[in-house]
Structure 1
Amino acid sequence: MDRSGDAAPIPQEVFDLYDAYCHGDLSRRGFFERLGKYAVGGLSVSALAACVMPDYARQQTESGADGLYEEMLVYDSPRGAGEMEGYFVRPADADGKLPGIVVIHENRGLNPHIRDVARRAAQAGYVAFAPDALYPLGGYPGNDDDGRAMQATRDRESMVQDFMAAADFLKGHVATTGKVGCVGFCFGGAVSNLMAVRQPWLSAAVPYYGGWPDAADAAGLKVPLQIHLAGLDDRVNAGWPAYKAALDAHDANYEAYIYPGVNHGFHNDTTPRFDATAAALAWSRTVEFFDLHLR
């Protein structure tokens, strides 16, 4: 995706720099300094940075969309933060109980894009619940840079426990059938992988370009798993062969898709990493997978 109209496409190296910055491998100062190499043809560093930063005005499913009921709900996370909050959304005219899906955000809190993904899950006929790992720190601060810095101060295992508690909460909610799956992106993809091996009662887990559990954990995997990976995502994909071998060795119930020529974050339609074709295919597969295992 190119936000600059007829200008030249953004070089792949810029996406790689942004990925390193997003995941803590490059400081903000280092990110802007290295962008200088690619700020050519009258394009300033700040303008180039703006091309790869999220633009949440692009979200497709507006809050309050017709046919959806939504609210913020507090729940208990006894092994995590203690008290947590999440965005709860379901079809307003649901006839009876529905399966539930926990939607797990990236490494920056419950931003508008993840709320939007939760609404899409609800529009597909599910009760969706998207916790905010930043709730104990005051909640998502309104921008990803501050959200990323805030989330980095939280203990990772505590956050994993918070999302596992959200699945327990959704399982027992009066609006659900008790069947629950999870879907997560980046950090949330890694958490989805962990939940699949730690919560064997889950009905399905769908990690998008997330890190991997220890290969030894694959031996106990009982949860149907659908994995989505970006072809250009060398950082995450480096760990896939070893985990795939472990899954295969234990005849795990999984399917995996690698989308050629797309970047980490290709499903996020608020950034230029978005690939409309790959994102649509991945999401259709996700919904079909949940329909198969949660209905």
Structure 2
Amino acid sequence: MSHISANKIPQQAFDWYDDYAHGDIDRRTFLSRLGSLSVAGLTFGAVTSALTPNYALAEQVSFNDQDIKATYQEFDSPKGHVKGQGYLVVPNNISNAAPLVLVVHENRGLNPYVKDVARRLAKQGFIAFAPDALYPLGGYPGNDDQGRSMQRSMDREKIDQDFIAAANYLKKYALGNGKLGVVGFCFGGYVSNMLAATIPNLVNAAVPFYGTPAKGDLIKQVEAPIMLQFAENDKRVNDTWPDYEAALKTNKVNYIAHFYPNTQHGFHNDSTSRYDPKMAELAWSRTLAFFRQHLV
């Protein structure tokens, strides 16, 4: 099964899904609003299905792939939830120390799409580590709605500390070259920005996808090269960019920002109709080139 194309779905529906996904409206309100739309040739069920993830569509690299090895690894997080866990994917044929990339999920835990992103990086020669913020509550529950509720119930500062601890863990990983990149999506985009500002001595490059900047004065502490990926139709995130860009310019940070035309928040996630194959591939090829430039 493939999702209906994004151009058949009204922008309002994407906006309402974004509100729902970020906790501004509840599921009942979201579904009620969808039901009020008159969408030519599409049933309510088809639109609802298209806007919610189908992870069978998201596997680009099998966990059985011969070129990689995936395991779960615990790490210490004394300022966070004491212990964290992540999905570590290592290329099988590392001849030299490999560059390291921390992969940060959206606001619902380590779902199959983000694990696949980690495998994609390992296929390209990077050691990738994708922590699960929900590990203290038993881990991603296999359901995005439940995962979103679980993550919302947690202490945000402790989650931030868990990702800082994960970055420290990965930076020192024995098979790595000591150069650390971070890539994240949505909430993970915020975490990528936050890590670039909070631990500038550890992060060598960051690529936030549609993420808001670090809070308060932290915004002024970004030092490492940063590539920012934005969707055109993403007002909530894009409204934060002018102030963030001004801070990056003031502090002479090496940055580049890309806005992808006619895309929605989440356009890289290939499990929903927000996915834009052409723009996702372009953004991902730029991400890989950026990491090769700064981490290899």
Q: TM-score range by the shorter chain?
A: over 0.9
Does structure 2 retain, via aligned residues, the 8 Å contact 1:67–1:91? yes
Structure 1 CA distance, aligned partners of 2:293 and 2:7? Answer: 43
Deviations 1:181-207 (A, max 9, x none): 100000000010010011112111110
Equivalence for 2:271: 270
Equivalence for 1:51: 50
Unaligned runs of 5+ in 1: none
Q: CA deviation at 1:51?
A: 1.4
Structure 2 CA distance, aligned partners of 1:130 and 1:142? Answer: 16
Equivalence for 2:282: 281
Equivalence for 1:224: 225
Structure 2 CA distance, aligned partners of 1:216 and 1:79? Answer: 21
Does structure 1 retain, via aligned residues, the 8 Å contact 2:81–2:158? yes
Does structure 1 retain, via aligned residues, the 8 Å contact 2:3–2:272? no
Equivalence for 1:19: 18
Structure 1 CA distance, aligned partners of 2:291 and 2:7? Answer: 39
Structure 2 CA distance, aligned partners of 1:136 and 1:64? Answer: 27
* Matched letter for residue 173 of structure 2: H
Does structure 2 retain, via aligned residues, the 8 Å contact 1:208–1:229? yes
Normalised TM-score (structure 2): 0.95
- 2:233 is aligned with 1:254: no
Q: Which moved more, 1:275-284 or 1:90-99?
A: 90-99
Deviations 1:54-86 (A, max 9, x none): 110012222222211110001111111110110
Q: Which moved more, 1:88-97 or 1:147-156?
A: 88-97
Equivalence for 2:190: 190
- 2:208 is aligned with 1:207: yes
Does structure 1 retain, via aligned residues, the 8 Å contact 2:9–2:39? no
Equivalence for 2:87: 87
Equivalence for 1:240: 241
* Matched letter for residue 102 of structure 1: L
Does structure 2 retain, via aligned residues, the 8 Å contact 1:218–1:252? no
Q: 1:118 to 1:63 in 2, by over 3 A?
A: same
Q: CA deviation at 1:252?
A: 1.3
Structure 2 CA distance, aligned partners of 1:231 and 1:41? Answer: 24
Structure 2 CA distance, aligned partners of 1:82 and 1:30? Answer: 37
SS at match of 2:190: helix
Structure 2 CA distance, aligned partners of 1:208 and 1:8? Answer: 21
Does structure 1 retain, via aligned residues, the 8 Å contact 2:4–2:273? no
* Matched letter for residue 102 of structure 2: V
Equivalence for 1:160: 160
SS at match of 1:188: helix
Q: 1:8 to 1:171 in 2, by over 3 A?
A: closer
Q: 1:139 to 1:12 in 2, by over 3 A?
A: same
* Matched letter for residue 272 of structure 1: S
* Matched letter for residue 17 of structure 2: Y
Q: CA deviation at 1:277?
A: 1.2
SS at match of 2:264: coil
Structure 1 CA distance, aligned partners of 2:200 and 2:139? Answer: 30
- The 5-angstrom pairing of residues 4-43 of structure 1 reads 4=4, 9-38=8-37, 40=39, 43=42
> How large is the RMSD of aligned CA atoms in angstroms?
1.7
Structure 2 CA distance, aligned partners of 1:40 and 1:203? Answer: 46
Structure 2 CA distance, aligned partners of 1:182 and 1:146? Answer: 26
Q: CA deviation at 1:44?
A: 4.0
Unaligned runs of 5+ in 2: none
Q: 1:126 to 1:145 in 2, by over 3 A?
A: same
Q: 1:203 to 1:265 in 2, by over 3 A?
A: same
Q: Which moved more, 1:34-43 or 1:107-116?
A: 34-43
Does structure 2 retain, via aligned residues, the 8 Å contact 1:218–1:250? no
SS at match of 1:231: strand
Q: CA deviation at 1:96?
A: 2.9
